[in-house]
Amino acid sequence: MDMDTISAAAAGTHDLGDGLVVNRLGYGAMRITGKSVWGPPENPDHAIRVLQRAAELGVNFIDTADSYGPSVSEELIAEALEGYADVVVATKGGLRRPTAPEWTNDARPEHLRVALEGSLKRLRVERIDLYQLHAPDPQVPYAESIGALKEFQDEGKIRLIGVSNVDLDELEIARGIVDVVSVQNRFNLVDRSSEDVLARCEELGIAFLPWFPLDTGRLARQGTGRPETALGEIAKRHETTPAQIALAWLLALSPAMLPIPGTATLAHLDENVAAASIELSGEEVARLTEVGR
């Protein structure tokens, strides 16, 4: 496949709402930070080039969070994509990073306001295209956290609202308060725990952003004669990598799916975007769906 002509647009588009139409293969900007998603990357110039290359390949949806770095991912995005007006940047608030290994919930309205203001400043914008509550906070009523986002939206600081790491009940609570346009939950070939949420997103026309989309676990093992080698066999048939087939499967599985694979290297970025052009047969999709359960 010619890496100069690949495009994320091959996967089709999704209308988020309010005129924001994005290509269905996005980019997750967590890995452009330092080790353990902490501090700056070893080579900031390369990280900036990865972001710019993504835009050049037709990736016009980039997902990040204030906790990635913390702050580093948003700062790099602002620097890299200045002048790329057609790229939709989605960010998240609701998690703190006290130290490198820690991720702690904080979805109190007062913290969310500070988080949002920080994201606006770092991204150098007056309004966030898509702002997502990173996770429910067990110490805060979920409706209270979502209500804060509604307040920020009414103030003109958020264009569209999404939620992340939610179950069906939490999604419905959020929908009772705001117009939810996206859900970001963990989902991949070996983790289908959010199938019910995905199905609800399909019903509602809401974008489903699977995080950790490239996890393939045992399915990538090489060999013959065992069901868990299906991914490797199909990848060989298409002359691609198992990771590319995993992305192609997500795109084929549901029209609501908007994968956001992340990488810190140009080579892997090109491979990920090339997955948008892979056409799996109905039999291949069904086989992968079955063996991954």
Q: Which residues are catalytic?
A: 68
Nearest to 184 by CA among 176, 170, 173: 170
Asked if residues 219 and 230 have their Cβ atoms less than 8 Å apart, the reply is yes
Sheet containing 128-133: give its strands across.
Answer: 27-28, 61-63, 88-93, 128-133, 158-164, 180-186, 207-211
The DSSP letter of residue 247 is H
Residue 184 contacts residue 94 (beta carbons within 8 Å): no
Distance CA 252, CA 250 (A): 5
- Number of C-beta neighbours around residue 180 at 10 A: 26
Quick check: helix, strand or coil at residue 63?
Answer: strand
* β-pair partners for 34: none
Tokens of 85: 């007006």
